Structure 1
Amino acid sequence: MNIIISASPFTEFRRQCEKLLQKTLEKTLPDLAAYKVTLEIPPNPQFGELTSRICFEISKHLSETPIRLAKQIETEANLGKSEFPMIESVEAAGQGYLNFHVNFPELSSLTVKSAKTLDGEYGHVKTESPEKIIVEHTSVNPVHPIHVGSARNSILGDSLARILSARGHKVFRHYYIDDVGRQSSIVAYGYKMLGRPRPSAKPDHFIGAIYAITNCLLEIRRLKALLNRQTGSLNYNNMQKARMDLDDWVAVAVDLQQRFPNIFNSLLDAMEKIEDPESEINALMRRYEMGNKEAVEIIREVTSICLEGFKQTLKRANIFFDSWDWESSFIWSNAVAKCLNSLKRTPYVFHRGDVLEFDAEGVARDLKLKSTFGLKETYEVPSLTLGRSDGTTLYTTRDIAYSIWKFRRAEKVINVIGMEQKLAQLQLKLALCALGYAEEAKRLIHFGYSLVNFPGQKISGRRGRYITLDEVMDEAVLRAYEEVKKRSEDMADEEKRKISEQVGIGAVKYALIETDPLKPVIFTWDRVINFERNSGPYIQYSYARACSILRRASRHVEDADFSLLKEPVERELILMVARFPEVFVEAADNLKPNIIADFANALADKFNTFYAALPVVKAETQELSDARLLLVNAVRITLRNALDLIGIEAPERM
């Protein structure tokens, strides 16, 4: 029963334990042999590598204590373990636990050889049920640069796509271009007033400046008009709020004028000549939805400029898409109108004044969907506004048509969208159910995530206040360069800069992915660029260290005597590498990319403990050195594969 290589070495040990336990139960307690065997990883290594509570369960059906049953099974299992070479021993413990101890030389051999043979595929256990999956992520409104909060979306979405692809699914990465609505019309209006200029900076930064300035001037104009028109009719509190808002926007204007003097002054001059820019923007928005040629030309032009900047940023972060989906195309193809008409034919659409509403609560109640979507029966789902009084549609309405389109191309859809969209995503699912797409709605996953906080910084695209992903990557690469320079003075500058790019961008990615998605990220540079602990650079440095050890050995080792690996830290390393495929499966099947980051950091920690304690190249004997070199190689492969799953490059030198 010796296995040469395995996609999941620890799972082989688990299966042998399950089979031995099942076989022993059939022999000792045949009436209970059908009982489901479950095994867990014990909290302490002294209790073995796997443990079972089955004796506590079956003792309920017998007049025996769990520990006496465990002792009986222990004796029989140890007699029958000869055909299960990965099991060293079975031990009854505590009040009735059964602890399984692994045969470390066998596990070491299987793990090291599997990692070496499978190489880039090690750990990537393939699913037996592959699916077509669309992962829609990033989808930043094309009116300002990608800021660091949106970057968390990009990096989580990209890692999900990588992990699911490695699991064997057919994954398509989609970007939803939100080119319909007020924001796109504001920036297009400002761009047109400037005479459709060529970008004088990175395209998305240039468009972001136009958007922030146009929006700022509109807000100042609106607030001044409000105060002039209704000084007598506004109560004191509303008057004070309007004045405070105006003061805030004037301060924003001063800041924007200092940062972008040419754009600001040109827009200010142009706006002063226009009587009612607000109504012109609303008209542009309506004409765009209707497919008016001039409106389409200007909005598509300005959107494409911004998208070009996005593509530059994302390319640097090694993030790419299979499909760029224009929101407007679903309006012009009548897909949105068809959805709206179909919804109107259901009993769940009503008018509130001149606004069309969708009764999401009615659908959830009538179709008994609350438990399906994880809601309390007492929770009342707010209604969804489907359109404005001027006939234009709203984002979620258009998203219904887009979701149906996506399900024609995939069996599962994952929308990576901030937690603030939780209600909108629920209403979207309920609208799909009302239209007869209940099964699709159950396969629509909202992968939510929380904010990114830069201590002391406020982010607002409307006010032109944001920390862009470009700026963060630039700063990270600069800081990484200083660290690399300190550690590798003799390295050529070109090589230092290449490595600094990998390390800096890896640092940003790791910082945005390591935290549970539902918790906010606190972004501080002393944590992000840290070569000593829990960071992307720390894991990359550990990988480079493993590469360095193998280079220093300057010999190729095919096999070794793994019984020589007796030190606790060696065994802990073997176990971690052996368990990596199970960690990967959990991350893929439960959509938890952060546990890959956690695992990589823990493996780096353990490897550095090993490195500090035990010589590898200069071990006591060449036989021991060979075994340790193969262990180091297995760690190297595992670290690289784990980093790749979360989109981080692994430099061989630092």
Structure 2
Amino acid sequence: MTIHKLYPLAQLKQEVITALQKIDLPLEVVNQVIISRTPEQIEGDFGFHCAAFSVSLKKSPNEIAQELAAKLQPEQDGYVQSFLAIGPYLNLQLNFQKFGQDVVENVLDMGADYGKEKQDQEQKIIIDMSSPNIAKRMSVGHLRSTIIGDSLAKILAHLGHRITKDNHLGDWGTQFGHLLRALELWGDPKIIEEHPIEELQKLYVRINQAADPKSEIYQGLSQTEAEEKAAKIVNEGRAWFKRLEDGDPNARAKWQEIVDWSMLEFQKMYTIFGVEFDWVKGESFYEDMLQPTIARLEHCGIVTKSEGALVIDMEDQGLRTVIIKKSDGATLYLTRDIATALYRSDQKFDAMIYVVGEDQKFYFEQLFGVLKEMGLKIAEKSKHVYFGLIRLTDGKMSTRKGRVIFLEDLVNEALERTKKLVENRTQVTDAREKERLVKQIAIGALKWNDLMADPKRTIIFDWDKILTMEGNSAPYVQYAQVRAASMLKGIDPLQLQKAIILAKQESECKLISLLALFPEAILSAAEEYDPSKIAIYVYDLAKTFSTFYHDLPILKETNSQIQQSRLAITAAVAETLKVGLALLGIEAPEKM
């Protein structure tokens, strides 16, 4: 995928390709040119490595760079001012009066649409994300799935795709039979209504202890007595789930109550994080589709029987043998996920993205393998975007067993820490505005910490780094955006759109070069399913703007043309930072 021709960077590449073709280099070789910014302290503004030409020209990259620099002629009134050979690189020195003018105008004209693309083949994509289990508190694992999925949805939508975000709830299975039995035995409606998820989770733990003959609650009993009591609990739970499957009105009503209680709690977190869903279809939605799904699998001729169970042998693909239906007739998660994929395929989705933890990598290889065996086109465009674990530096927010960090606890601590940070550092005095600012910074910080690097990495929560105003953090980038935007107050935007860009200073040229790269950063994030590409970009832009701001007078500049030029560049930075933060799901405050 390449950036749209309307962007100056794409025009620059085309200008270089045209120059290379004029010296008779074949198009298939020329098209391999990848233009990027030159590193610090290296002469030139952009450049490319000449290794792509080595095979066809039968020369070393260094020799090729020297020859190209001697032969190539810049276009009259083009972006390239001169070609320079630097080792194996051919670097480009740009005419920043023209390039800068086009870049800044491009940003200011497009505004919130900067970086958008019109796709030749628009895709209808469903993103399976968040997906908490009913009757359980959301953990930080759900935070990662929710935030990464939401950002990917925004990025892909910005590129012109039609996106459906699906919160695929874990709301079905034998565990709900056990929970219904626990409610019958020990549930207190008044207590549950006050703290629904917390109480339901306690009941779930209690019923599981009762179903385990080795549990400490059976101490003092003989092994036989313990096994009998545990078996009775298990059978009672299964009986409740059978009633649920059979549509028993009482069982269904109680189950729906559990779902409703859970969704109220989940929605509190989604509201705080500003995340919305197009679909909320739990596993229960697909329950009626399971038998038709099994029939379809059998019709495909890929199912065999093994000891009474229905299985698919995928040993030849290194994916083992997967069970579709147990010998007792029970289905599995895989069966339900196949039914889900078939439904999505029937709804004409072109691609599926599952944002699920790293520990499920092999499972999704099996799922996609089955879908391919079935001949589903959507299988070829299905992607498991996995993420690493989260841990704290001090472990203070772990549960007593040290296994889970609950999302609500994390949010509350972020808000509390941010409130203390903001208290003596902000000029915002209105109580409501200050509360909103605290939320924008705290939630932005949590999201940034998750999105600032490759999703596959382990996230470490270091509160001092997350909330710092000095380094790679959301508050730092938010502050840069607020600073840039605040300088433009009272200035007519149309006046800035007409400004003549006079970029002669190094910090001006670097800023313009970076602004030109934003559309490419968005494409890279989409192609690699990695929002960190945008986080890295906006942090770089914020840092470069800080240098520009400290090196050069802007509002205090006495030459009116230069002042207008720098204000226009500042406006382009403010807009680009705002768009970049929005693609990460992070708000840009009005004041800080």
Q: TM-score, with normalisation over the residues of structure 1?
A: 0.81
Letter of the aligned partner of 2:14 in structure 1?
R
- 1:547 alignment partner, one of 476, 485, 500: 485
**2:345 — aligned with what?**
407
**1:358 — aligned with what?**
312
**2:78 — aligned with what?**
85
Distance 1:587 1:637 in 2: 19
- Distance change in 2, residues 1:223/1:64 (3 Å): closer
Deviation of 1:611 after TM superposition, in Å, equals 2.1
**1:169 — aligned with what?**
161
Structure 1 segment 150-189 matched on structure 2, within 5 A: 150-189=142-181
**1:15 — aligned with what?**
14
**1:329 — aligned with what?**
285
Does the 8 A contact of 2:8 with 2:102 survive in 1?
Answer: yes
Structure 1 segment 419-568 matched on structure 2, within 5 A: 419-437=358-376, 439-457=377-395, 466-489=404-427, 491-551=429-489, 557-563=496-502, 565-568=503-506
- Distance change in 2, residues 1:129/1:220 (3 Å): same
**1:41 — aligned with what?**
36
Distance 1:647 1:490 in 2: 23
Does the 8 A contact of 1:6 with 1:114 survive in 2?
Answer: no
Q: Secondary structure at the match of 1:99?
A: strand
Q: Secondary structure at the match of 1:151?
A: helix
Structure 2 spans left out of the alignment, 5+ residues: none
Deviation of 1:584 after TM superposition, in Å, equals 0.7
Q: Secondary structure at the match of 2:577?
A: helix
- Distance change in 2, residues 1:16/1:653 (3 Å): same
Q: Secondary structure at the match of 1:16?
A: helix
Q: TM-score, with normalisation over the residues of structure 2?
A: 0.89
Distance 1:635 1:194 in 2: 59
Asked whether 1:607 is paired with 2:545, we answer yes
Deviation of 1:196 after TM superposition, in Å, equals 6.2
Deviations 1:557-594 (A, max 9, x none): 3433423x322222111111111111111112221111
- Distance change in 2, residues 1:286/1:20 (3 Å): same
Does the 8 A contact of 2:397 with 2:409 survive in 1?
Answer: no
Letter of the aligned partner of 2:261 in structure 1?
I
Q: Secondary structure at the match of 1:177?
A: coil
**2:238 — aligned with what?**
282
- 2:520 alignment partner, one of 566, 582, 588: 582
Does the 8 A contact of 2:399 with 2:405 survive in 1?
Answer: no
Deviations 1:242-280 (A, max 9, x none): 9xxxxxxxxxxxxxxxxxxxxxxxxxxxxx9x9822211
**2:268 — aligned with what?**
312
Deviation of 1:443 after TM superposition, in Å, equals 1.4
- 1:291 alignment partner, one of 247, 250, 254: 247
Structure 1 segment 184-333 matched on structure 2, within 5 A: 184-195=176-187, 197-198=189-190, 199-201=192-194, 203-219=196-212, 222=215, 229-230=222-223, 276-331=232-287, 333=288
- Distance change in 2, residues 1:594/1:408 (3 Å): same
Deviations 1:437-488 (A, max 9, x none): 2x22111111111111123549999979633222222221222222222222
Distance 1:581 1:203 in 2: 45
- Distance change in 2, residues 1:608/1:276 (3 Å): same
Does the 8 A contact of 1:480 with 1:500 survive in 2?
Answer: yes
Letter of the aligned partner of 1:49 in structure 2?
D
Does the 8 A contact of 1:180 with 1:285 survive in 2?
Answer: no
Distance 1:62 1:505 in 2: 54
Letter of the aligned partner of 1:100 in structure 2?
L
Does the 8 A contact of 2:444 with 2:586 survive in 1?
Answer: yes
**1:342 — aligned with what?**
296
Distance 1:599 1:474 in 2: 29
Distance 1:509 1:385 in 2: 38
- 1:594 alignment partner, one of 520, 532, 539: 532
**1:25 — aligned with what?**
23
**1:367 — aligned with what?**
none
Q: Which moved more, 1:287-296 or 1:125-134?
A: 287-296
Deviation of 1:62 after TM superposition, in Å, equals 5.7
Q: Which moved more, 1:549-558 or 1:440-449?
A: 549-558
Deviation of 1:653 after TM superposition, in Å, equals 0.4
Distance 1:62 1:466 in 2: 59
Does the 8 A contact of 1:160 with 1:591 survive in 2?
Answer: yes
Deviations 1:340-375 (A, max 9, x none): 23334555434444444321225x3xxxxxxxxxxx
Distance 1:318 1:397 in 2: 32
Distance 1:210 1:222 in 2: 15
Distance 2:214 2:112 in 1: 59
Structure 1 segment 383-394 matched on structure 2, within 5 A: 383-394=321-332
Letter of the aligned partner of 1:582 in structure 2?
E
Deviation of 1:193 after TM superposition, in Å, equals 3.0
Letter of the aligned partner of 2:496 in structure 1?
V
**1:254 — aligned with what?**
none
Deviation of 1:290 after TM superposition, in Å, equals 3.4
Does the 8 A contact of 2:477 with 2:538 survive in 1?
Answer: yes
- Distance change in 2, residues 1:138/1:101 (3 Å): same
User: How many percent of aligned residue pairs carry the same amino acid?
Assistant: 28
Distance 2:338 2:540 in 1: 42
Does the 8 A contact of 1:112 with 1:631 survive in 2?
Answer: yes
Deviations 1:81-100 (A, max 9, x none): 11x521111223435x4322
Deviation of 1:129 after TM superposition, in Å, equals 1.6
Distance 1:279 1:570 in 2: 73
Deviations 1:65-95 (A, max 9, x none): 76666555434432x511x521111223435
Deviation of 1:180 after TM superposition, in Å, equals 1.5
Structure 1 spans left out of the alignment, 5+ residues: 232-241, 243-271, 365-379
Deviation of 1:132 after TM superposition, in Å, equals 0.5
**1:235 — aligned with what?**
none
Q: Secondary structure at the match of 2:127?
A: strand
Letter of the aligned partner of 1:51 in structure 2?
G
Does the 8 A contact of 2:315 with 2:321 survive in 1?
Answer: yes
**1:145 — aligned with what?**
137
Letter of the aligned partner of 2:13 in structure 1?
R
